[in-house]
Amino acid sequence: MKSSELRIGNFFNNSYNGELSTIYALGRTLCSYKTRVADDGQCSYDCCIPIPLTYDWLVNFGFYAHSGDYFKAGFRLNRVFAYELLYGVIKLNYVHQLQNLYFAITGEELEIIL
């Protein structure tokens, strides 16, 4: 992935160790990450593999489904994981895209609810 696509707190699949990772620092050529089971580490942005956005991810972030759309505190995605604007649609394919858009619109981070 490109470093410009990422923010601190974004989730990604780490091709270096195969773990679900969370970014906690962004550098020029490397990002620092943490995982649930491994120690913290660093990797190049080429090792950051985007996670496909699925219904399960939405549920883990606290969204609920109603009439085919997905809602969380006034934020709505349609059935194909797109955020509708007045003059267009933003299609979300990956978890980090949802995290970034949600923060841009609401000013709040998405937290995983287990």
The domain of 40 spans 3-49
pLDDT tens digits, residue range 82-110? 998 878 899 999 999 999 999 999 999 99
| Nearest-angstrom CA–CA distance, 105 and 35 | 27
For residue 42, how many other CB atoms are within 10 A of its CB? 13
Residues 43 and 61 in one domain: no
Total domains present in the chain: 2
Same domain, 40 and 13: yes
Tokens of 114: 């287990």
Cα 20 versus chain centre, distance: 12
70, part of any domain: yes
What pLDDT sits at residue 114?
A: 62
Average pLDDT over residues 59-65: 95
Q: How many other C-beta atoms lie within 10 A of the C-beta of residue 84?
A: 12
Q: List C-alpha distances in Å: 14 to 44, 90, 100.
A: 10, 26, 19
* CA separation for the pair 66, 6 (Å, rounded): 30
| pLDDT on residue 55 | 94
Phi, psi (degrees; rounded to nearest 5) at 96 = -65, -30
pLDDT, the chain, mean? 92
43 and 60, same structural domain? no
Give the pLDDT mean for 33-39: 82
